[in-house]
Structure 1
Amino acid sequence: MKTVIMIAAHKKFPMPHAEGYLPVLVGAAKNYKPSIKYQRDDEGKNISSKNPNYNELTAVYWAWKNLKDVDAIGLVHYRRLFFDTKPYSLNNVLSKPKIEKLLSKYDVILPKKRNYYIESNYSHYIHAHHKEPLDKTREIIKKYYPQYLINFDKVMQRKKAHMFNMFVMKRDAFDSYCEFIFGVLKDVESRVDISDYSVQEKRVFGYISELLMDVWLDTTKQKYTEVKWEQLGGKNNLKKAVSLVERKIGIKTKTHF
């Protein structure tokens, strides 16, 4: 089984050397540095120049259009990775044999869900980001992807979601996922003016795509499993808790740590 797990990175960083893992320099069209010997996301058919708005999805698009003879495709981040057991280190990431064993039973491997506890996915999003793009996403799904609408509304009301755009998928599932998210996001992009958004908020299409994962997952009835993920370098849980409360009372704060 030919499996490629991309590691999205915008700079040089220590990488796992496990079989099947491929560091990808995202936004290479504007951020290329000859000293970084990673696969670039601006080769072949690509949307690399949209990285400030699409985040790591520029790597996903590159893989969709350019990795043809691959049985399974995945995405992790240079600091946020899948693990099987402790210790959580670059030498102990989820192995290719383990991934392929899971894919013999499931179509999709995802990180364990993130729980917002006191907020729905919708309220969490609009307390942290501009409301218009997410509402416009619903309008587009209702008009052009009506089979997804029921699950879009369900996902928005839940308090848990598979976040971070992390996954490993069999090829057929990956193609289905890409057709949906890039189709929806292209329409949202054409209908929303983000010219006056902050640098962080201009990453809007990457943020929205995180919520679209479960919409696609539930509608297409993919058979999936969850695995442990961890952020190397630690997570500031106190900062996250304070931020969650601040958003609840109307103070917009950074949401991705």
Structure 2
Amino acid sequence: MKTEILVAAHKKFPMPKVEGYVPVLVGATRNYKDGISYQRDDEGENISSKNPNYNELTAVYWAWKNLKDVDAIGLVHYRRYLFDSKPYSLDNVMSIQKVNQLLSKYDVILPKKRNYYIESNYSHYIHAHHQEPLDKTREIIVKDYPQYLPMFDKVMKRSKAHMFNMFIMKKDAFDSYCNFMFGVLEKVEKQIDTSNYSVQEARVYGYISELLMDVWLETNAYKYTEVAWGQIGGKKNITKAILLIERKLGIKAKTHLN
């Protein structure tokens, strides 16, 4: 089984020296500098120029359109990875052997769900971001993807979700996911004006896609498993907890910390 796990990065950064991990420079049309030898997301069919709005999804799109001779595709981030044991370090990221072992039983590998505890996925989103894009997403699903609506509404009411745009999928599942996710986002993009959004909020389609993962996954009943995830350099748990409380009290967050 040939599996390639993309490591999305917008700058040069230490990378895993492990078989199957492929560093991808996202937004390469803007972010390329001499000395960065990563795979660029602006080669072949691509949406690299949309990286300020799509985040790491430009790497996903590049893989979807250009990686053909593979059996499974994954995405992690230059500081955030999937693990099957501690310590959480670049030397201990999940091996391709372990990945392929799991993919012999499951269609999709995901990080453990994030739990917002005192908020629903919907309320967390609108307290942290502009509400209009998420509401437009539902309108588009009602009109063009009605089979996904029941699960969309369920996911919005839950307090847990598979976040971070991190995954490893068999190729057929990956193609299904991209068709749905990029199809929805393309339609949302046509109805949203982001010209007055902050740099942080302009990343709107990357944020929305996080909530589309479980909608797609459960509607199509793909078999999945969860594994641990870790952040190189540690997580800002205290800061995140404060922001979560502020959002619950109606104080608009200045940043969105993942």
TM-score bracket for the superposition, by shorter chain length: over 0.9
CA shift, 1:47, in A, is 0.1
Q: Tell me the residue number matched to 1:108.
A: 108
Encode CA deviations 1:52-87: one digit per residue, 9 max, x unaligned. Answer: 000000000000000001000000000000111111
2:256 maps to amino acid = T
Encode CA deviations 1:16-49: one digit per residue, 9 max, x unaligned. Answer: 0110000000000111112100000000000000
- Partner secondary structure for residue 14 of structure 2: coil
Q: Tell me the residue number matched to 2:257.
A: 256
- Partner secondary structure for residue 5 of structure 2: strand
- Partner secondary structure for residue 227 of structure 1: strand
Q: Which runs of 4+ in 1 moved over 2 A?
A: none
Q: Is the 8 A contact 2:54 2:205 kept in 1?
A: yes
Q: What TM-score comes out, normalization by structure 1 length? A: 0.99
CA shift, 1:209, in A, is 0.1
Structure 2 residue 118 is the aligned partner of structure 1 residue 128 = no
Structure 1 gap segments, 5+ residues each: none
- Partner secondary structure for residue 11 of structure 2: coil
2:72 maps to amino acid = A
The count of residues paired between Structure 1 and Structure 2 equals 257
Q: Tell me the residue number matched to 1:169.
A: 169
Q: Is the 8 A contact 2:200 2:256 kept in 1?
A: no
Measure the CA separation in 2 of the matches of 1:212 and 1:34.
36
Encode CA deviations 1:117-154: one digit per residue, 9 max, x unaligned. Answer: 00000000000000000000000000000000000000
Q: What TM-score comes out, normalization by structure 2 length? A: 0.99
Structure 2 residue 17 is the aligned partner of structure 1 residue 17 = yes
Q: Tell me the residue number matched to 2:42.
A: 42
Measure the CA separation in 2 of the matches of 1:203 and 1:34.
26
Q: Tell me the residue number matched to 1:5.
A: 5
Q: Tell me the residue number matched to 1:88.
A: 88
- Partner secondary structure for residue 42 of structure 1: coil
Report sequence identity in percent. Answer: 76
Encode CA deviations 1:101-122: one digit per residue, 9 max, x unaligned. Answer: 0000000000000000000000
CA shift, 1:255, in A, is 2.2
Structure 2 gap segments, 5+ residues each: none
CA RMSD of aligned residues (A): 0.6
1:190 maps to amino acid = K
2:216 maps to amino acid = W
> Following superposition of structure 1 onto structure 2, how do residues 74-85 of structure 1 map, counting pairs within 5 Å?
74-85=74-85
> Following superposition of structure 1 onto structure 2, how do residues 59-74 of structure 1 map, counting pairs within 5 Å?
59-74=59-74
Q: Tell me the residue number matched to 1:146.
A: 146
1:207 maps to amino acid = Y
Structure 2 residue 103 is the aligned partner of structure 1 residue 118 = no
Q: Tell me the residue number matched to 1:31.
A: 31
Measure the CA separation in 2 of the matches of 1:171 and 1:256.
30
Measure the CA separation in 1 of the matches of 2:88 and 2:161.
23
